[in-house]
Amino acid sequence: MTEPTRLVVGMSGSSGAIYGIRLLEILKGMPEVETHLVVTPAARQTIVFETDWTPSSVASLADFTYRPGDIAAPISSGSFPIDAMIVLPCSVRSLGAIAWSQNDSLLVRAADVTLKERRKLVVALRETPLHLGHLRAMTQVTEMGGILAPLMPAFYGRPATLGDLVDHQVGRLCDLLGIRPPDELVERWHGPARG
């Protein structure tokens, strides 16, 4: 039996909590993926403000959950093997903390460990417009080996609902993580229709 893909999911406090929730919903149905979740206090508030979910119901979607202040959690150590980490959504505050290794929370510490161990880190920033400080933080994370994947909708699949937009973005993030999303999640581009 092969080991499952071990993925850390960090949810920070920017708008867009539904993206992290939807990723967890999809991964819950994939026994080949083991999820480790950390939700910041600001993300807990955003979940309540923006969705019909509660923080505890979101936590129930993950295989393992950790408190944001639990710096001794397994995911805080490079000796704990993971395959990848995603911060979804990522606030500009969390981006800056990751960029400058300000390990004052488990989310930032886990991201820092992911980078230092040369593992895949995907940062799904949800902020606009951007000023120079934001751009410098994005550059810093990229130079350290992270993948910046700002949350931006795609329209070539002609989405009919907000759910379609969320699913497409989450499916593309799964691609970046090396996880094959369900086929119906992402409308793949095959070029213009030939007639």
To the question of whether residue 105 is assigned a binding role by annotation, the answer is no
CB atoms within 10 A of CB 128: 10
To the question of whether residue 13 is assigned a binding role by annotation, the answer is yes
Query: Which tokens is 152 given?
Result: 């931006």
Query: Which tokens is 24 given?
Result: 């967890």
Over its C-alpha atoms, the chain yields an Rg (Å, rounded) of 16
To the question of whether residue 92 is assigned a binding role by annotation, the answer is yes
Give just the sign of the alpha carbon dihedral 168, 124, 105, 92. negative
To the question of whether residue 172 is assigned a binding role by annotation, the answer is yes
Helix axes 132-143, 92-99, angle to 10 degrees: 50
Q: How far is CA 146 from the centre of its chain?
A: 12
To the question of whether residue 122 is assigned a binding role by annotation, the answer is no
To the question of whether residue 12 is assigned a binding role by annotation, the answer is no
To the question of whether residue 35 is assigned a binding role by annotation, the answer is no
Q: Per the annotation, where are the binding residues for dimethylallyl phosphate? A: 156, 172
Q: Per the annotation, where are the binding residues? A: 13-15, 40, 91-94, 126, 156, 172
Q: Per the annotation, where are the binding residues for FMN? A: 13-15, 40, 91-94, 126
